[in-house]
Amino acid sequence: MFKLILALTLLSGTAFAQSRTRISFNKDWKFFLGDEPNAKSLAYNDLKWRKLTLPHDWSIEGKFDEKNPAKPEGGGLPTGIGWYRKEFIAPANFKDRLITVEFDGVYKNSEVWINGQYLGKRPYGYSSFSYEISKFLKAGKNSIAVKVDNSAQPDSRWYSGSGIYRNVWLTSAAKVSIKHNGTFVKTFLISGDKGQSNESRKLKPGESIASVNAEIEIENKFKTKGVYKILTTILDDKNSQLQKKEWPLNTSETSITMMISGLGIANPKLWSVDHPTMYKLVVEIAQADGKIIDQYTTPFGVRDFNFDAVKGFSLNGKPMKILGVCLHHDLGALGAAVNVRAMERQLEIMKAMGVNAIRTAHNPPAPEFLDLCDKMGFLVMDEAFDMWAKKKTKNDYHLDFPAWHKRDLEEMIKRDRNHPSIILWSIGNEIREQFDSTGIAITKELVGIVKNLDKTRPVISALTETKAEKNFIYQANALDIYGLNYNHKLYKDFPINYPGVKFLATETTSALETRGFYDTADTIRRWPKDGKTKFTEGNNEWSASAYDNVSAYWGSTHEETWAAAKKYDHVSGLFVWTGFDYLGEPLPYPWPARSSYFGIVDLAGFPKDSYYMYQSEWTNKPVLHILPHWNWKQGKSVEVWAYYNNADEVELYLNGKSLGKKSKQGDDLHVHWNVSFEPGTLKAVSRKSGKDVLIREVKTAGDPAKIELIADRKNIKADGKDLSFVTVRVLDAAGNVVPDADNLVDFQVEGVGFIAGVDNGFQASLEPFKANYRKAFHGLCLAILQSTEKTGTIKLTASSAGLASSSIIIKTGK
Ligand code: GAL
């Protein structure tokens, strides 16, 4: 490899040209569930195979069954082997171009053939990878075949999905071109506020400059000799050109890394969670005659962050706590199949709760997820592995770790290192090697791999062994920050036990809740009680109380955890396990439970009550939320809770009669009253300095009478991907949600759309996700409508025996 160090040169004004094409390669695939080795050849007849558009997850289409090899821990859905084939015409001038097929993720053990020629295997199902295919292509028809083998189970400790579940792209670039994921844009902020100066002058307070350096890898597979120019252009968030420069490039080597320094942005708008401003670096390669032969755009942001052992985290000089959640990658009823709108909705729901950070548990996410975090303003802890060489399950990645970890980790860093959202690289979650001395060498090696590619971000690992002398990952002395999972009682004395060590609560809580289910609030339960006792404490409704009074024994309730994390500045932040329920890991319940109880939001996207505790603490918007519902037996003593903020007190009324005023004291995160139930209206009023801030009412509901449909968006894009999430509410005649309604709702769709999935958030429902019906659960269910590429309207009608039906119209447009 040949390295060029360049300094400032000339300005140039060449216009951008369409020199590189990167098209979606998702359409017109054929799919066969089962093994079909002959399918790799061009001549194979796949006429009988199912036609589909990627991304695709065959597991989510299957039937729940306790006997499925993935077990309830893996979601209880089928796995197995599947084949995908696609016939296509090679891109124009393919012989003179570099043609690459890029897979964002295939779960797992993918093997790819072009025209019967083997391209390679990729075991890790969460890695993105690509193959350069020019030399295998021919004029006219070509075929690509992908075998996916997810048959060896158990594997991931959660639902993985099966298939080509992320996007596929086809890129055509010039023979001399910028490598896929071959740029690294680094910014460094010089600020007048800190009395700093740049090369030419001292900056005044209020002035700043971002110095921008870029590492650009240029590929010259055919060793073409020539004299070229590299043009670099910085665009601002409105796509206005800020700076354009030109650099010489002599080729002959197959791979050239150019280090470009001296670019800059005067008074940049900083990327932050509230104002996530993005810039772009456009790199072009021009021939000697000026013709642009390649163009590659790298979005980036300018921000500055710091972890401090005493003061915690700060972003752009301002102290802030990392208020994070852990998220697995499944999208509920849509399974693992990537859908940008579904990911965006999850993030919108998190943002509204006050979340400012996401931990991608426990694997690299889809690239679009990181684009959304950049755009929407989330900090990200990007995690590589859930295990190293020592297994967590029989067939997990430990089998491939020895041969593949270097490549998988390197490619994750190279793919992701331009995202301003990413502030932490995690090399692993609760890795077994923390308990034995092999952990030292592996930690050092992995940290070395990361630092070799990115020295601008700290490296962390989520640890559970709390005794420093016994924790071999910690003993490696290579990590930048101590990441602790659970053990919130250790937060207080951390600075005494680990003086000078930076600290982050990488995983917390593991509270268990079912939306809409309330079990007496008086005691806190640990389910299961400990590691030795069989779990028997549950109820025959496979539910956990939404009073925030149940957690796993290694965890804590939401309130216990947040009260501890909130108190200490040295706790840089926390990542609550988890933001959403996810498929698999249905702890503590046995079958038919098949998805997790840990979410602050259920699998369908409906918030559980704790959501509002966080919202009252993590946002400034006024919050008043009362629980539970108001349908109980006459005379039952019911504990009524209120989460609130921006107020001094809350007064509760039952049928107009005051039950008293309450204020949070000390570490309290809610107030409560014991109320003897009588039907009617429970009303809470929050007040500040005697003035009403918010009023909330819950009424005793009568029998189910009608259906109400509420779409999150009534206008969606006619792009075949966009979604409208329609909440179905079962109401009584007066319009109150019926809290125990479990009516079976049938859906009918007319027009230019279809049902992509249905759900109700119940963790033990065995109804299919791909269906045109769903039972309500505690009064709610969900239908996810997907557009086609036709513009027009989608009409959804929901009906149920004995209830007045309801319809809604969604418009789709270009
Ligand atoms: C943690 C683990 C998570 C999840 C969680 C459940 O120990 O890191 O992946 O299993 O427990 O409480």
Task: Give dist(CA 558, CA 570) in Å, integer.
Answer: 20
Q: Residue 205 class from Cβ within 10 Å (0-12 exposed, 13-18 middle, 19+ buried)?
A: exposed
Query: Domain check: are 197 and 285 in the same one?
Result: yes
Is residue 556 within 6 Å of ligand 1 at its C-beta? no
Last residue of a domain, one of 143, 173, 203: 173
Is residue 510 within 6 Å of ligand 1 at its C-beta? yes
Task: Give dist(CA 169, CA 167) in Å, integer.
Answer: 7
Q: What is the CATH number of the domain that holds 554?
A: 3.20.20.80
Query: Domain check: are 345 and 267 in the same one?
Result: no
236 within a domain of the structure (yes/no) = yes
Under DSSP, the state recorded for 767 is S
Q: Residue 251 class from Cβ within 10 Å (0-12 exposed, 13-18 middle, 19+ buried)?
A: buried
Q: What is the CATH number of the domain that holds 771?
A: 2.60.40.10
Main-chain dihedrals φ then ψ at residue 39, nearest 5 degrees: -65, -10
Query: Domain check: are 293 and 206 in the same one?
Result: yes
Is residue 551 within 6 Å of ligand 1 at its C-beta? no
Q: Are 373 and 338 in contact (CB under 8 A)?
A: no
Query: Domain check: are 589 and 494 in the same one?
Result: yes
Q: What is the CATH number of the domain that holds 128?
A: 2.60.120.260
Task: Give dist(CA 33, CA 71) in Å, integer.
Answer: 19
HSE-CB for 577 with a 13 A CA cutoff: 25
Is residue 630 within 6 Å of ligand 1 at its C-beta? no
Query: Domain check: are 446 and 576 in the same one?
Result: yes
Ligand 1 centroid to 546 CA: how many Å? 20
In DSSP terms, 50 is beta-bridged to 31
* pLDDT score for 18: 53
Mean pLDDT per 10-residue interval, the chain, length 814 residues: 34 48 97 97 95 98 98 98 97 91 98 97 98 95 97 98 98 95 96 82 90 95 88 97 94 87 95 98 95 97 98 97 98 98 99 98 98 99 98 98 98 98 98 97 98 98 95 98 98 97 98 96 90 93 97 98 98 98 98 98 98 98 98 97 98 98 97 98 98 98 98 98 99 98 98 98 98 98 98 98 98 97
Query: Domain check: are 446 and 326 in the same one?
Result: yes
Ligand 1 centroid to 512 CA: how many Å? 12
Ligand 1 centroid to 146 CA: how many Å? 32
Ligand 1 centroid to 506 CA: how many Å? 11
Per-residue HEC secondary structure of 584-596 comes to CCCCCCCCCCCEC
Sequence-distant (6+) residues with CB within 8 A of 814 are 717, 718, 791
Query: Domain check: are 664 and 734 in the same one?
Result: no
Sign of the C-alpha dihedral, residues 590, 595, 596, 601?
negative
b/e map of 738-766 (b: 16 or more CB within 10 Å)? bbebbbebebebebbbebbbbbbbbbbbe
Among 156, 359, 430, which residue has the most ligand 1 atoms within 8 Å of its CB, making it the best to mutate? 430
Task: Give dist(CA 412, CA 667) in Å, integer.
Answer: 41
Tokens read off for 67: 């006997």
Task: Give dist(CA 742, CA 297) in Å, integer.
Answer: 51
List, by residue number, the catalytic residues. Answer: 430, 507
HSE-CB for 284 with a 13 A CA cutoff: 22
Is residue 429 within 6 Å of ligand 1 at its C-beta? yes
155 within a domain of the structure (yes/no) = yes
407 within a domain of the structure (yes/no) = no
420 within a domain of the structure (yes/no) = no
CA 28 to chain centre: 27
Sheet holding 657-662, edge to edge: 657-662, 649-654, 681-688, 691-699
Query: Domain check: are 635 and 540 in the same one?
Result: no
809 within a domain of the structure (yes/no) = yes
Last residue of a domain, one of 597, 616, 643: 597
Is residue 552 within 6 Å of ligand 1 at its C-beta? yes
Q: Are 610 and 558 in contact (CB under 8 A)?
A: yes
Query: Domain check: are 27 and 126 in the same one?
Result: yes
Query: Domain check: are 783 and 673 in the same one?
Result: no
343 within a domain of the structure (yes/no) = yes
115 within a domain of the structure (yes/no) = yes
Is residue 507 within 6 Å of ligand 1 at its C-beta? yes
Structural domain boundaries, residue 169? 2-173
* pLDDT score for 201: 80
Among 507, 509, 530, which residue has the most ligand 1 atoms within 8 Å of its CB, making it the best to mutate? 507
Task: Give dist(CA 361, CA 596) in Å, integer.
Answer: 14
Tokens read off for 695: 């009023």
Query: Domain check: are 734 and 681 in the same one?
Result: no
HSE-CB for 728 with a 13 A CA cutoff: 36
Last residue of a domain, one of 173, 191, 222: 173
* pLDDT score for 195: 83
602 within a domain of the structure (yes/no) = no
If one counts the domains in the chain, the total is 5
In this structure, the residue with its CA closest to atom 7 of ligand 1 is: 430
Is residue 582 within 6 Å of ligand 1 at its C-beta? no
Query: Domain check: are 344 and 484 in the same one?
Result: yes
Ligand 1 centroid to 670 CA: how many Å? 27
